[in-house]
Amino acid sequence: MRPPRLPRLPRARGACPVVASYGGKDRSLRGAAAKLDHALDRLGVEHDVREYPDAGHSFLADAPNGPAPLRPLMKIMGAGPEPASARDAWDRIEAFFDRHLRP
């Protein structure tokens, strides 16, 4: 998820709590975690945003994904599972949902 652009921030005021996890090696979303964290801070939206330095795009996946012929390229790009980061991210997601979605 790309962070909202500054002109769109007022529309996000009053948004529900947000949990987000980004891979630090994901070049397509470089700096997105910090931007989203800053935007949500400015809006006063409760959030838990973290960037995992050892993870790339799709790091939460259990197994390599995408078309089989492209998987070697995805691996070179750093995309795909990163179990240690994924374990921490899923723990954060589950705790966040427990806190905000339990009756």
45-81 residue pLDDT tens: 999 999 999 999 999 998 877 787 887 777 777 788 9
Residue 2 belongs to a domain: no
* CA gap 21, 35 in Å, rounded: 13
* CA gap 70, 53 in Å, rounded: 23
At residue 24, the 3 state secondary structure works out as coil
Residue 26 belongs to a domain: yes
pLDDT of residue 41 exceeding 60: yes
Question: How many domains does the chain fold into?
Answer: 1
Q: Which domain holds residue 73?
A: 18-101
Burial annotation 64-85 (CB, 10 A radius, 16+ → b, else e) = eeeeeeeeeebeeebbbbbeeb
What Rg value do the Cα atoms of the chain yield, rounded?
15
Residue 84 belongs to a domain: yes
Q: What is the pLDDT of residue 14?
A: 77
